Amino acid sequence: MQDTRSAKSSLQLETDTLINKHGMVAIITPFGGKLISLWVPDRNGKLGDVVLGYDSVQQYILGNPYFGAMIGRYGNRIAKGRFTLEGKEYQLATNNGVNALHGGPKGFHNVLWQNDESNSDTNRIVLNYLSKDGDENYPGELNVKVTYSLTDDNELVIDYEATTNATTVVNLTHHSFFNLAGAGNGDILDHELAIYADRFTPVDEGLIPTGELKPVIGTPFDFTKPTKIGAHINDADPQIKNGKGFDHNWALKKQANVFSLAATLKEPTSGRVMEVWTTEPGLQFYSGNFLDGSDIGKDGKRYQYRTAICLEAQHFPDSPNQPDFPSTILKPGEVYKQKTVYKFSTE
């Protein structure tokens, strides 16, 4: 694996810009496969950058490692960093208390992906990464390809593909922090969110799923109809307390591997609307509960408490230890594939 610091230092020279016919712009770096800017029109046609990020390489070195990042091998948490696969127990690095989070400290967010130079499409970038057998103590050599595309329908499309030479676990996702009013422009409590799911996975105090699939009806987790994020974010609910707000996985109401609408997010002032479409069975909704103003982002703006939302299409957290959850096991000869689309419009 490349030295993380040297990979980061080359960020300044390695970005790709995707532009569609409406002027929408996505800027991506091979460092961590990160989406560092996404310029989207509001209802008046004015472009605004709707993802959190930084202005300098040094800030990406020292700041939040997940802003706009590609996450793997395993998005979200694995309890105590342990799982058993084909009779063998694996101990991963723990980087979130006693748990493993987002592939560990040297996860896919912290490496230099290879830009496929044979790609000549100005609306697409193809990134490749070879994760060696034993990286972060995951078994098997994993060959990953991620394609970012920007369509003329104002869609940011992310296609994932991976193969392995030994049985392993895989849960890839994308970790942009969105504020549809513009990065650093106030909190997200007035954003309206709908999640097309009737169950979610409750968590313990360490944010590890209990194994239950709990109905959302009658709880603060009911986003079956568009609801302001701030409406129930401070409710006296044990799950809200555990997540310090929303930091949970919703079990989407969909058939396995079928590409369908997972969530809709609206911001009333700008009129921007973002739909999330995916083949994945779950969606992690995180309401920026750990942002605290210490991150100074683009144009010198501080990213304060709850000023962004993450909507991470994924398999469920801790699935390797939860036999009733959709499987994240990938075997030799199989091909991991998923597609997630962030589609923008206005109203």
The burial of 346, by beta-carbon neighbours within 10 Å (0-12 exposed, 13-18 middle, 19 or more buried), is given as: middle
Section 316-333 average pLDDT: 98
Mean pLDDT of the chain: 94
Q: Residue written as tokens 């302001």?
A: 228
pTM of the model: 0.94
Q: 25: which 2 tokens?
A: 């712009």
CA atoms in the 13 A half-sphere facing the CB of 148: 31
Residue 99 has pLDDT above 80, yes or no: yes
d(CA 39, CA 33): 18
Residues designated as active site: 175, 312
CA dist 220 and 222 (Å) reads: 6
Query: Residue 242 CB: number of other CB atoms within 10 A?
Result: 17
pLDDT digits (tens, 9 = 90+) for 275-304: 999 999 999 999 999 999 999 999 999 999
Sketch out the chain's domains with CATH numbers: 4-346 (2.70.98.10)
Q: Give me the pLDDT at residue 60, please.
A: 83
